[in-house]
Amino acid sequence: MFKKSNKKKYAILNNYWKQISILITTIILISFFFPSGNTLLFSYKLNDVAKEEIVAPFNFPILKTNQELKNDLDEALKVEPFYFIRDQKIVEGQIKKLNQ
């Protein structure tokens, strides 16, 4: 009984080996047309703020008014825990004061 079911399986494989090989080859060839996963590097949702600089490969307009853009940037700055603006003049002045 066991040998008969194995023979049936092999008979099916022998009858359809061309179709199966074409299917496997097609799947492999189609997989080469898809990107290698680089699109998964950045998974941001609408209104997310990126932690690193993202540069687009093309130019595009910002479809917001200047006030909306300023509000969004101000809100993004409030969310960040620390934001420092380094001014070299202040640094040099403090160093001079320390040396005196």
Residues 42-78: pLDDT tens digits? Answer: 677 777 877 778 788 888 887 888 999 899 989 988 8
pLDDT band at 41 (very low <50, low <70, confident <90, very high): low
**How much is the mean pLDDT over the chain?**
81
Q: What does the pLDDT average to over 89-96?
A: 94
Q: What is the pTM of this model?
A: 0.31
Q: Which amino acid is residue 17, in one-letter code?
A: W
Please state, in angstroms and as integers, the Cα–Cα distance from residue 78 to each residue in 26, 40, 49, 72, 99, following that order.
Answer: 52, 28, 12, 10, 36
Cα distance between residue 80 and residue 86, in whole Å: 17
Cα 64 from chain centroid? 24
Residues 6+ apart with CB under 8 A from 79: 49
Label residues 33-61 b or e (16+ Cβ within 10 Å = b). Answer: eeeeeeeeeeeeeeeeeeeeeeeeeeeee
